Amino acid sequence: MSARRSRSSLYREAKVLFAKRDWRGRARTPRSAAQHEPPGEPYEFPTGWARMPAVRVARQGIQRAGLTPLTWSLTKPEIRGLDRLEQVTGPVVFVANHSSHLDTPLILGSLPTRYARRVAVGAAADYFFDARWRAAVTALVFNAFPVERYRSRRLRSLAPQLLARGWSLLLYPEGTRSEDGWMGSMRLGAAQLCVSRRVPAVPIVLRGTYAAMPRGRNWPVSGRPRVVVRYGEPLSPVEGESARGFNTRLTQAVSQLWAEEEMGWYQSLRAKTAGELALPTGPKVASWRRTWESTRPLASRRPPAAWRD
């Protein structure tokens, strides 16, 4: 009975996807010939099919055999802090900074298998779900679901429903990719979700991804630039904590992870304790200088050799 319902649901979603549309998701009727229709409810691209067992198997193959090897061949990823996830059970909300289209493939490719198999990625509804072909590819490859960045359309949020079904989430609280490589303020949505659903948040910071593939590029720069993915300690909301208070703690954790690249773990921890760290929003200088600084390749941090020849 459940298999029959799944097939029926898939058929209904397929009708929604392709009804009166061409293969690109565009209407077959020219706008000049279409009858006027008053604005109705905002369109919600169906993504439930992307979490069906057969599609999950296909996505795992796409990521393991294609996406992850390709990303690793074009960059030199260094993954830090995965041991901090060993004691975490149940779904979590991964909270990361966002400056490049490399961010999601790097995170999905570095996650332990138990999380990588059951993580859904929040993607901008007005960018990734504005055309049906792009929405279908994004949902298939990344298990993405639409996130409304603006209040004008007021789409129904799928995040609480996914958490209730045991899915972890990958969210970018800045709401968009950085225009110059520096971070913007972290919105309250992810923190509110953690507080209301009583689930932990895992902060993630990516360094070097903007230099490797800045906004506006469709392919990483040559030379396999070094990129770093750092996982922080999971943070759980405490009893009575507000979303704003929890978001402040998340911001502090992200600031510390960012500083670890230059200062190291111990010095960044001391700086955080002393209140000397802030969100890396960049220097207040001309835009070209901000971009120039953020596209500087990450320096190698290889440990010194234990002996010399």
Give pLDDT tens digits for 57-80.
999 999 999 999 999 999 999 999
Q: For residue 6, what pLDDT band results from cuts at 50, 70 and 90?
A: low
Distance CA 135, CA 127 (A): 9
Per-residue pLDDT reduced to its tens digit, 122-157: 998 888 888 888 999 999 999 999 988 776 556 678
Question: Is residue 84 over pLDDT 80?
Answer: yes
Question: Is residue 23 over pLDDT 60?
Answer: no
Per-residue pLDDT reduced to its tens digit, 240-296: 999 999 999 999 999 999 999 888 888 998 988 888 888 999 888 898 899 888 888
Mean pLDDT, residues 15-43 taken together? 57
Q: What DSSP string runs through the chain? A: -HHHHHHHHHHHHHHHHHTTB-TTS-BSS-TTTSPP----SPP----GGGGSHHHHHHHHHHIIIIIHHHHHHHSEEEEE-GGGGTT--S--EEEE---STTHHHHHHHHS-HHHHTTEEEEEEHHHHTSSHHHHHHHHHHH-EEEE-SSTTT-PPP-HHHHHHTT-EEEE-TTSS--SSSS--PPPSHHHHHHHHHT--EEEEEEESHHHHS-TT-SSPPSS--EEEEEE---B-PPTT--HHHHHHHHHHHHHHHHHHHHHHHHHHHHHHHTT--------SS-HHHHHHHHTSPPPP-PPPPSS--
Strands 226-231 and 201-207: antiparallel
Question: Is residue 306 over pLDDT 60?
Answer: no
Per-residue pLDDT reduced to its tens digit, 182-240: 999 999 999 999 999 999 999 999 999 999 998 888 899 999 999 999 999 999 999 99
What is residue 22's predicted lDDT score, i.e. its pLDDT?
A: 57
What is residue 304's predicted lDDT score, i.e. its pLDDT?
A: 47
Question: Is residue 308 over pLDDT 50?
Answer: no
Ordered structural domains, the chain, with CATH: 47-294 (3.40.1130.10)
What is the pTM assigned to this prediction? 0.83
What is residue 27's predicted lDDT score, i.e. its pLDDT?
A: 60
